[in-house]
Structure 1
Amino acid sequence: MNVFEQYESNVRSYIRSFPATFVRAKGDKMWDDQGKEYIDFFAGAGALNYGHNDDGMKKAVIEYMQGDGILHSLDMGTEAKAKFLQRFQDVILKPRKMDYKMMFPGPTGTNTVESALKLARKVTGRAKVVSFTRAFHGMTLGALAITGNAFKRKGAGVSLNETIFMPYDGYTGNGINSADLLEQMLNDDGSGMDKPAAVILEVIQGEGGINACSMEWLKRIREICTEHGIIMIVDDVQAGCGRSGTFFSFEPAGIVPDMICMSKSLGGMGLPFAMTLVKPEYDKFGPGEHNGTFRGNNLAFIAAAEAMRFWENDDLAQRVQHNAAVIKERLGRIRDRFPQFAAKVKGRGFMQGLELTVAKEKGEEICAEAFKNGLILETAGPDDEVVKLLPPLILTDESLAKGLDIMEEAFAAVAERMEKSAA
């Protein structure tokens, strides 16, 4: 590890949580340079829904490169892009009766969020954006302005403006419906709320602590946006591509957002790739009005087109939903076994976790203990108080069971140390 400490910036973070040098990965596992095996409940922070080095994607990418396929093309027409556009249309959009233009704004999640914010402001001629408590939308200034985390916001070094923060569903915890509150403020000329260009939300807040909104709340937000002529943006960067149990996280609500932000697992095998889905009537950017040098990642187009095979039927979605129930039940057992943490089971799909409401600072210690025993697991939430599971969707039954065993053992080890220190 000395080379990283000697030459890499102090800003590095995950390497501190997972102090190993990884050399190989396949499916739901990784191996370090000492040959130690790890079950991956992290999946590249949700960028590897289909696991590591999927054979079909790997074969398609290698064949494309060996055939001297176009690698860099900005937004020129390429065979790789044409294939992805058609596959996404045929496999994802048409079966769901969804009509969107596909915009490629750059390779990362924050790029797609920035493009959606800019376009919503252009379309409406308004500046303000409603975001929600504990939201995370990215690290560039526009996306950071609609992010709730104080530590990350402070890193901007400048004022972050034009955002109206509202309570996320369940945030107040006292029966107040924040959708009703939003509507009341929009209808009241004395509320001080300027009419916003957009409302942006995550259906399941990842970095914010695995907070999942109800489908009823989500439908109400859609109704309010329609009533007031506000663009509804769903940030599906982490919760999308099947992680919630359906391809889009909002599908159970039966809503149609005006814009959808996608990245992370859209690239198939971890290749940088982002896309903004835009209703045709809002596709108002002029040519080049929003652009980026790396918005045409052809290797990602190839891998992403191949990844569509997972969605040609419901097999993967059903498997995720089945195993999500297994995870939820097991997390409930861990919660009950260790009442000293007063933990809460949170999230849905393959995006769940245990929030420690007592001894919050032990979240990182639990994840470190799990890592020592061969499980890659991270924390979430403003105080790192949520032990968070983001396994790849192709996780085997064996890895699921073993990983949950290791997680429970980590809770047990930390609980035992707490008891000894209190004695």
Structure 2
Amino acid sequence: MSPEAEERDLAEAYLGGLLASLGLSVEYVRAEKDTLYRLDEEGRERAVLDLVGGYGSTILGHNAPELVGYAKELLDRGVPVHAQFSRHPYANDLALRIDAIVKRELGPAEEYAAIFANSGAEAVEIAMKHAELDRIMRLAELEAEIDAAAERALAAAAGGAPLLADDTLRRLAAEAGLPAGAGTDEVADGIRRINAARTAAAAPVFLAPEGSFHGKLVGSVQLTHNAGFRTPFGALAAQCRFVPVHEPDAVAKAVEAERRTLFALASDADGVRVVEHELPVIAAFVLEPVQGEAGIRPFDRETVRRIQDACAAADCPVIVDEVQSGMGRTGTFFAAAPLGLRGDYITLAKSLGGGLVKAALTLVRTSRYRKEFELVHSSTFAKDAFSTLIAGRTVDLLEADGGAVYRKAAERGAHLTAMLRGLQEEFPDVVREVRGRGLMIGLVFHDQSASASAPIAEQSRAGLLGYALSGYLLRVHDLRILPTASATDTLRLEPSVHLTDAETDRLEAGLRALLTLLRNQDGDALLPPAA
């Protein structure tokens, strides 16, 4: 590299500067299992224990030998990456395998169609797009039904059927400004005008729990509760209402607040009357079984039951985002399984690629699936042979030996959680909580914004303390841990199933040193020395 090139940084230079200030600007040159290697000043490899795990992407570890060997085999065979708009039998094989897992863990109610993608955020946006297409098509079907019913009612009125007065007719008449004693033709005209106005004003709305994170693309960022990520782009996509779901009536109230109706005519032996039909406004309710970026917050069965009941009553589909929590990380393939949560949509990514390739899936319950979506959505790299075959082999490894990986994730997670809770008991004034499931764990710190140490207090008030703690652990103890994006008081731990007892002991020693530093208010040791 030329000296000129070394002095210039055009690849997110501001972020690079922030990483450097926190001691996190490190280049890694090699990886295996839960270890990343960096070079020291003499050019020698230095092992760093990686607890970030690609934000949940490496359930099988970095560069899993079985997958690396398979990738080399595929490349040696010249498997095509670019063969779009052709038959992809391996994609169907993967879809069938995952559908079988859905049936095993979530129940055999019906099949799921599979739409392929490249990343978790894209998988979420596919679910959003499909849910909106479904909403629009349901609305078109409803409007056709209303028109057909109006024709029948007008024909009945022409034959002498009376217009029956009731509260619904009176509400319509008041809103449409109909004269007293208006006839069926005038009522039908009023219905057309009111419905047209209501439909035009009925922009789609998504619902999500407070604390949600579903990506940072144009659509998915609207489902992300963190206002700093979402607000600048609020005019670009459908809006989301965030619900305090742990309050017993919150979901039902949120659904009711978005409720809209269309008027219609109906006729029977008694005459013609005005009725109302639900206008589909809510495109979907979106949730993570374990909220990752909100600080590793698992859902409970009762909250999930309330969400499903409210959504079923309103015919509102549920999107279950398993991008970070799925693929065995919590002890089952789907983190939703122990909760009894069966979504109309399920998104998968991260560990689906085995830590090697970019692969993602959006699963759609067949009773919701719209085949027309296949003609209005596509992705250049989705469903290519190389990434899809590796994703298939990843699923095979997870399912091998009756799901040994899932059992190991549960066991390794329990061991890691027990260690962390031991530290919480030792440092109750520093550690507020340990929470999570399996190998998706959050270590939550007490607020340090009033610390007697100026560096600690300043970093805490700036929302950067979690990153400063991570920088210290990396610089001093060769431990790689990062905070969750929307709750920076929480350090995430998402290692692979290969995490050893010795590595857990090494982590414990580093964390104990960090907790001692915080207890002693030793802020000078927290940040890297000034250059």
TM-score by length of 2: 0.71
**Structure 1 counterpart of 2:125:** 114
Deviation at 1:42, TM superposition (A): 0.5
1:89-128 matched pairs, under 5 angstroms:
89-90=99-100, 92-96=101-105, 97-98=107-108, 99-104=111-116, 106-125=117-136, 127-128=204-205
**Structure 1 counterpart of 2:470:** 367
SS of residue matched to 2:330: coil
Q: Is the 8 A contact 1:136 1:207 kept in 2?
A: yes
Deviation at 1:231, TM superposition (A): 0.3
SS of residue matched to 2:13: coil
**Structure 2 counterpart of 1:228:** 314
Deviation at 1:73, TM superposition (A): 2.5
Query: Kindly tell me: are residues 191 and 359 of structure 1, through their superposed partners in 2, closer, same or farther at Cα, counting changes over 3 Å?
Result: farther
**Structure 1 counterpart of 2:252:** 183
Please, which moves more after superposition, 40-49 or 339-348? 339-348
Q: Is the 8 A contact 2:245 2:303 kept in 1?
A: no
CA deviations on 1:82-111 (whole Å, 9 max, x unpaired) are 443344345x2453445211111x311111
- Counterpart pick for 2:25 among 8, 14, 19: 19
Q: Is the 8 A contact 2:346 2:364 kept in 1?
A: yes
Q: Is the 8 A contact 1:262 1:275 kept in 2?
A: yes
**Structure 1 counterpart of 2:211:** 134
Deviation at 1:304, TM superposition (A): 1.2
**Structure 1 counterpart of 2:454:** none
- Counterpart pick for 2:398 among 310, 332, 335: 310
What letter is aligned with 1:24? Answer: R
Deviation at 1:233, TM superposition (A): 0.5
1:65-76 matched pairs, under 5 angstroms:
65-74=75-84, 76=86
- Counterpart pick for 2:52 among 32, 42, 47: 42
Please, which moves more after superposition, 291-300 or 52-61? 291-300
Q: Is the 8 A contact 1:70 1:78 kept in 2?
A: no
**Structure 2 counterpart of 1:397:** 501
Q: Is the 8 A contact 1:74 1:292 kept in 2?
A: no
CA distance in 2, matches of 1:8, 1:229: 45
**Is it true that 1:31 corresponds to 2:119 in the alignment?**
no
Query: Kindly tell me: are residues 143 and 337 of structure 1, through their superposed partners in 2, closer, same or farther at Cα, counting changes over 3 Å?
Result: same
CA distance in 2, matches of 1:413, 1:390: 24
Deviation at 1:162, TM superposition (A): 2.4
Structure 2: runs of 5+ lacking an equivalent: 137-202, 262-278, 450-459, 526-531
CA deviations on 1:37-60 (whole Å, 9 max, x unpaired) are 011100111111111111111111
**Structure 1 counterpart of 2:168:** none
Q: Is the 8 A contact 2:88 2:383 kept in 1?
A: no
- The aligned length equals 411
CA distance in 2, matches of 1:376, 1:396: 16
Q: Is the 8 A contact 1:149 1:382 kept in 2?
A: yes
Query: Kindly tell me: are residues 109 and 290 of structure 1, through their superposed partners in 2, closer, same or farther at Cα, counting changes over 3 Å?
Result: same
Q: Is the 8 A contact 1:88 1:305 kept in 2?
A: no
**Is it true that 1:330 corresponds to 2:333 in the alignment?**
no
What letter is aligned with 2:501? Answer: D
Deviation at 1:255, TM superposition (A): 2.9
Cα RMSD between the aligned structures?
2.8
Q: Is the 8 A contact 1:380 1:387 kept in 2?
A: yes
1:23-422 matched pairs, under 5 angstroms:
23-34=29-40, 35-74=45-84, 76-78=86-88, 80-90=90-100, 92-96=101-105, 97-98=107-108, 99-104=111-116, 106-125=117-136, 127-156=204-233, 158=235, 161-169=238-246, 176-177=247-248, 180-187=249-256, 195-286=281-372, 287-308=374-395, 309-312=397-400, 313-359=402-448, 361=460, 362-372=465-475, 373-418=477-522
CA deviations on 1:303-351 (whole Å, 9 max, x unpaired) are 2111122223132212211222222222222222223325112222211
Deviation at 1:273, TM superposition (A): 1.0
**Structure 1 counterpart of 2:161:** none
Q: Is the 8 A contact 2:328 2:398 kept in 1?
A: no
What letter is aligned with 1:239? Answer: S
SS of residue matched to 2:520: helix
Query: Kindly tell me: are residues 254 and 158 of structure 1, through their superposed partners in 2, closer, same or farther at Cα, counting changes over 3 Å?
Result: closer
Determine what percentage of the aligned residue pairs are the same residue: 23
CA distance in 1, matches of 2:86, 2:510: 48
CA deviations on 1:158-195 (whole Å, 9 max, x unpaired) are 465421111143xxxxxx32xx2211343468999985
What letter is aligned with 1:39? Answer: L
What letter is aligned with 1:307? Answer: T
CA distance in 2, matches of 1:87, 1:45: 25
CA distance in 2, matches of 1:190, 1:370: 50
**Is it true that 1:10 corresponds to 2:13 in the alignment?**
yes
Query: Kindly tell me: are residues 317 and 420 of structure 1, through their superposed partners in 2, closer, same or farther at Cα, counting changes over 3 Å?
Result: same
**Structure 1 counterpart of 2:273:** none
Please, which moves more after superposition, 78-87 or 309-318? 78-87
Please, which moves more after superposition, 281-290 or 152-161? 152-161
Query: Kindly tell me: are residues 164 and 189 of structure 1, through their superposed partners in 2, closer, same or farther at Cα, counting changes over 3 Å?
Result: closer
Deviation at 1:382, TM superposition (A): 2.9
CA deviations on 1:198-222 (whole Å, 9 max, x unpaired) are 1000111111111111122112212
Query: Kindly tell me: are residues 420 and 185 of structure 1, through their superposed partners in 2, closer, same or farther at Cα, counting changes over 3 Å?
Result: closer
Query: Kindly tell me: are residues 188 and 39 of structure 1, through their superposed partners in 2, closer, same or farther at Cα, counting changes over 3 Å?
Result: closer
CA distance in 2, matches of 1:419, 1:341: 14
Query: Kindly tell me: are residues 164 and 220 of structure 1, through their superposed partners in 2, closer, same or farther at Cα, counting changes over 3 Å?
Result: same
CA distance in 1, matches of 2:524, 2:62: 40
Query: Kindly tell me: are residues 124 and 194 of structure 1, through their superposed partners in 2, closer, same or farther at Cα, counting changes over 3 Å?
Result: closer
Structure 1: runs of 5+ lacking an equivalent: 170-175
SS of residue matched to 1:403: helix
Please, which moves more after superposition, 192-201 or 296-305? 192-201
SS of residue matched to 2:282: coil
- Could you say which structure has the larger radius of gyration? 2
